[in-house]
C-alpha cells in the first residue's frame, strides 16, 4: 500500500508545484494523477534501490537526442518517479515507419562504451524487476557474455530453472560469441527493454517509449526485443529502420543470439517456462 502522507498525489504536487485534483491507481506501484491545470502525470514507485533513479536517468538520456518521443521527467527521488502521461491512439503503418527511422537515429547517437550507464544513472540498475549491472567492456561479444548472459544463466542454474546440460549449450554460445556476433559495431544508445509493452502508440501519430533499461549496447538487441514479444506493424518498423541505417548482413539470423539476454531474465523472474525458449535461441545461434 502507498503511504498516505507521501503517496502519488503528494509526490506529484511536490515535483510539479501544482495542486492535485484527481488520482487513479493503476497498480500497486503506478498511478495517474490529475493536476489543477488539467495536466495528467504518471507517478511510479520504484521497486528496488536505485530503480527510480535509473529509470529517470535513462529517460533523460534517450530524450536528450530528440529522436524517438520520450515522456518528460517531472521529478524523481529515491522512491518515486513522476513523468508526462502519453495520450495513446491506434497503431498505424505511418507511425511504425517513422518509429523505425527514429529508432535508428537514436541508436546512431551512440554511447561511451558497451555497458555504459546513462549520465546520472547508477551502475546497479534494473531491467523490469531484475537487477542489471551497467559495467563497461571494450567489445560487444565479451561484454555481452560476461555482463548480460552469464549472470542470469548462473542465477537460473542456482534456482534450478535451467539444468546443467542446458547451461552448457548457452555457455558454448558465449564461447563462440566473437564469431557469431557479426561485424563489429560501435556502442549504440539502447532503450534496453524494448518489448511491446514499453512501446506506446501516441494519439499524436508518433511512437513513444517508456520504462527503459537504457545503456550502451548493440543496436540489434533492441530490434530482437521487438521480435521476441511482438510489435504492431513490425515489418514497417524494420522498413523505416533499414532506410535510415541498414543492418549488417545476417542480422536476422542473429535475432536469437540477442534474445538470450531477455529470455534468461524472464527465466529468472518467471521460472522454467522461459528456459525452453532460451534453449531454442541458443541452439539457433549455434546453427547460424
* 21 within some domain: yes
pLDDT digits (tens, 9 = 90+) for 155-198: 999 999 999 999 999 999 999 999 999 999 999 999 999 999 99
Q: What is the structure's pLDDT at 2? A: 41
Q: What is the structure's pLDDT at 14? A: 95
pLDDT digits (tens, 9 = 90+) for 55-90: 999 999 999 999 999 999 999 998 999 999 999 999
Residues 54 and 196 occupy one common structural domain: no
Which pLDDT band holds residue 47 (cuts at 50, 70, 90)?
confident
Quick check: 49 pLDDT over 90? no
More confident position, 50 or 243: 243
Residues 109 and 168 occupy one common structural domain: yes
Residues 104 and 145 occupy one common structural domain: yes
Domain boundary at 50, 84, 118, which?
84
pLDDT digits (tens, 9 = 90+) for 113-134: 999 999 999 999 999 989 999 9
- Backbone phi and psi for residue 263, each to the nearest 5 degrees, phi listed first: -65, -40
Q: What is the structure's pLDDT at 280? A: 95
24-40: burial string, b at 16+ Cβ within 10 Å, e else: eeeeeeebbbbbeeeee
Segments forming the whole domain that contains residue 203: 93-287
What sign does the CA torsion over 285, 286, 287, 288 have?
positive
In percent, the amount of the chain with pLDDT more than 70 equals 98
**Residue 220 and residue 254 in contact, taking contact as beta carbons nearer than 8 Å:** yes
C-alpha cell at 32: 495517474
Q: What is the structure's pLDDT at 3? A: 44
Q: How far apart are CA 121 and CA 160, in angstroms?
A: 32
Nearest to 133 by CA among 123, 142, 143: 123
Residues 207 and 113 occupy one common structural domain: yes
Amino acid at each position: 500500500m502507498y503511504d498516505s502522507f507521501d503517496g502519488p498525489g503528494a509526490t506529484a504536487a511536490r515535483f510539479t508545484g501544482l495542486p492535485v485534483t484527481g488520482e487513479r491507481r493503476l497498480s500497486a506501484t503506478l498511478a495517474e494523477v490529475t493536476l489543477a491545470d488539467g495536466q495528467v502525470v504518471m507517478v511510479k514507485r520504484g521497486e528496488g534501490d536505485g530503480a527510480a533513479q535509473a529509470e529517470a536517468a535513462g529517460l533523460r538520456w534517450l530524450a536528450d537526442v530528440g529522436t524517438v518521443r520520450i515522456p518528460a521527467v517531472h521529478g524523481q527521488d529515491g522512491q518515486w518517479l513522476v513523468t508526462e502521461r502519453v495520450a495513446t491512439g491506434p497503431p498505424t503503418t505511418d507511425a511504425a515507419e517513422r518509429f523505425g527511422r527514429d529508432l535508428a537515429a537514436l541508436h546512431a547517437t551512440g554511447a561511451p562504451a558497451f555497458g555504459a550507464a546513462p549520465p546520472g544513472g547508477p551502475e546497479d540498475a534494473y531491467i523490469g524487476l531484475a537487477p542489471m549491472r551497467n559495467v563497461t567492456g571494450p567489445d560487444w561479444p565479451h561484454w555481452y557474455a560476461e555482463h548480460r548472459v552469464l549472470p542470469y544463466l548462473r542465477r537460473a542454474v542456482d534456482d534450478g530453472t535451467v539444468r546443467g546440460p542446458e547451461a552448457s549449450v548457452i555457455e558454448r554460445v558465449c564461447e563462440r560469441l566473437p564469431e557469431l556476433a557479426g561485424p563489429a559495431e560501435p556502442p549504440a544508445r539502447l532503450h534496453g527493454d524494448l518489448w511491446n509493452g514499453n512501446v506506446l502508440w501516441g494519439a499524436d501519430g508518433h511512437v513513444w517509449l517508456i520504462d527503459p533499461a537504457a545503456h550502451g549496447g548493440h543496436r540489434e538487441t533492441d530490434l530482437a526485443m521487438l521480435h521476441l514479444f511482438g510489435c504492431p506493424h513490425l515489418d514497417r518498423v524494420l522498413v523505416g529502420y533499414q532506410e535510415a541505417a541498414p543492418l549488417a548482413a545476417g542480422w536476422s539470423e542473429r535475432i536469437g543470439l540477442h534474445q538470450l539476454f531477455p529470455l534468461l531474465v524472464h527465466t529468472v523472474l518467471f521460472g522454467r517456462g522461459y528456459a525452453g525458449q532460451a534453449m531454442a535461441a541458443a541452439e539457433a545461434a549455434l546453427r547460424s
